[in-house]
Structure 1
Amino acid sequence: MRAFATGVCVASTYRDTPDGRRHDAVTVNSLGSISLDPPLVSLSFRLGSAFLDDLLATGRWAVSILPASARDTARRLAGPRETRAPHVADLPARPGDRTGALVLAGAGWLECALRDRFDLGDHALVVGDVLATGPDGRPPTLVFLHGRYHAVDDPGSIGVDLSTPGHWGEGI
């Protein structure tokens, strides 16, 4: 899978504790589009992760699709919760209007509500209803390939009209 380029995102959720709301955020590259009608997305997390436990408890999360300029953010949020926590507190982010989960400034974002969960091997796949989205201003996107972060900024790329059937084997 190292040879498969994936987008880099930050997933965020929270847990309400007696001391107040504790936000958490983690770098992920498992965001998938499941359905356009209704809008559904998926994420995958290691079974037993503290982030997954919080997400399942709240049933709410946000995903910020990182621009290429956010490599340091991706790196700082890629470790265990103990190493992420100080960085989460310093994120340029705001709580989402629909979920309360953190939405990063300068990133395209989705706010989601838990629809379903599937345990598959050593991971859980969570499927969410997309409640709200926001623009990203179209900066170069951050991707992960061969164990490294890369920017996608190809001025020679070719656009594809996805509004008609026949793409990715659909309707053929």
Structure 2
Amino acid sequence: MQVDLRGTMRNFATGVCVATTYAEEQGERRHDALTVNSVMPVSMDPPLVSVCLRRGSLFLEDLLATKVWALSILDVAGDDIAKSFARSREIRSVALQALSRSPGEHTGALVLDSLGWMECALRDQREVGDHTVVIGEVLAAGGQRRRPPLIFVHGKFHAMEDA
């Protein structure tokens, strides 16, 4: 029997974040960003979060080299941002330049102007199926209240109106 995990998981609503990291190339820092919805808190003490990234991705390679990243939680106005950072590295690079962002104080990874953000340092990693689960210690976090959060369910972005 073939398991339709993708079809079943379409019914599971998730938040939408942008993960950022960077690579050092010839003395220059090249930032990258990627849409993720596989973020999960792992522990409150110490503060740990996990993100699942496709094994072999260039973003994952950069993250494992620098051992730091930032997560920015998108609000309902971020659907175009989420779509841009789900594309090729070249498109992501152009999109990143157009956003309000700043290097995180603890990691140097870019923090977007968003509902919430976290700066993380690599604590552990596990190869699981076709993905790598990275677990990060949260070094700093913050947020602001404004528009409702962006969620992803049934293959589309939606506002979580009653949040």
Identity of aligned residues (%): 54
- Residues 1:68 and 2:76 aligned together: yes
Aligned ranges 1:89-168 → 2 under 5 Å: 89-154=97-162
Deviation at 1:39, TM superposition (A): 0.4
Root-mean-square deviation (Å): 1.1
Is the contact made by 2:120 and 2:140 (CA closer than 8 Å) also made in structure 1? Answer: yes
Q: 1:81 aligns with which of 77, 80, 89?
A: 89
- Distance in 1 separating the partners of 2:104 and 2:115: 13
Q: 1:33 aligns with which of 28, 36, 41?
A: 41
Alignment-derived partner of residue 18 in structure 2: 10
SS at match of 1:16: strand
Is the contact made by 1:141 and 1:151 (CA closer than 8 Å) also made in structure 2? Answer: yes
Deviation at 1:138, TM superposition (A): 4.5
- Distance in 2 separating the partners of 1:32 and 1:154: 21
Deviation at 1:19, TM superposition (A): 5.0
Normalising by the residue count of structure 2, what TM-score does the alignment of the two structures yield? Answer: 0.92
- Distance in 2 separating the partners of 1:46 and 1:35: 23
Larger Rg: 1
Is the contact made by 2:53 and 2:133 (CA closer than 8 Å) also made in structure 1? Answer: yes
Cα deviation code 1:25-58 (max 9, x no counterpart): 0100000000001100000010000000000000
Is the contact made by 2:73 and 2:114 (CA closer than 8 Å) also made in structure 1? Answer: no
Gaps of 5+ in 2: 1-8
Q: 1:62 to 1:138 in 2, by over 3 A?
A: same
Is the contact made by 1:109 and 1:136 (CA closer than 8 Å) also made in structure 2? Answer: no
Q: Which runs of 4+ in 1 moved over 6 A?
A: none
Cα deviation code 1:104-162 (max 9, x no counterpart): 1133100000000000010000000000001122530000001000000217xxxxxxx
Is the contact made by 2:115 and 2:149 (CA closer than 8 Å) also made in structure 1? Answer: no
Deviation at 1:82, TM superposition (A): 2.3
Normalising by the residue count of structure 1, what TM-score does the alignment of the two structures yield? Answer: 0.87
Paired residue type of 1:31 = V
